[in-house]
Amino acid sequence: MKGLMAWYPDLGFVPWMFEHDVPRGYWKQEENHKAFFDWLGKKSGHKTLDEWYNIERRIYYKYGGMGLLRDYYSDSPATALQRIYPNHRWDSSLFGRRYQFNYA
């Protein structure tokens, strides 16, 4: 991972793209949690935090957030968002079924 990031800095590699190669202790630093969510929001084209209600859990998993969600937020995107962006007024009722994992 470090080699790719060093050799190809313009490609925008981020540690979570290499699920099994995130540096030990990387997710222990809360600023890395926010960095992941900020990155995913940008990648998803979000303009506002309210757009997070529409992201399914599989998207977090697809882009390298599975370990982060499972290990730090009880596999709950809603919990993660509320902790990472505490100043936003979240409506818990809007999370509901939108985050049910879809195996299809």
pLDDT in tens, the chain (104 residues): 444 444 334 445 566 565 556 778 888 999 999 999 999 998 888 899 999 988 888 899 888 888 899 999 999 999 999 999 999 999 988 886 554 444 33
Residue pair 41/52 in contact (Cβ under 8 Å)? The answer is yes
Answer whether residue 90 is part of any domain.
no
Q: Is 82 left (phi over 0), alpha (psi -120 to 50) or beta?
A: alpha
Q: Which domain holds residue 71?
A: 30-85
Answer whether residue 6 is part of any domain.
no
Answer whether residue 36 is part of any domain.
yes
Answer whether residue 41 is part of any domain.
yes
Burial level of 12, CB count in 10 A (0-12/13-18/19+)? exposed
Q: What is the pLDDT of residue 34?
A: 96
Answer whether residue 24 is part of any domain.
no
Burial level of 26, CB count in 10 A (0-12/13-18/19+)? middle
Answer whether residue 12 is part of any domain.
no
Q: State the alpha helices, DSSP H only, in the chain.
A: 2-7, 30-43, 57-62, 66-72, 77-84
Answer whether residue 45 is part of any domain.
yes
Q: What is the pLDDT of residue 7?
A: 38
Q: What is the pLDDT of residue 75?
A: 93
Answer whether residue 16 is part of any domain.
no
Structure tokens at 38: 């900020």
Q: What residue type is assigned to position 88 of the chain? A: H
Q: What is the pLDDT of residue 9?
A: 46
Domain count, the chain: 1
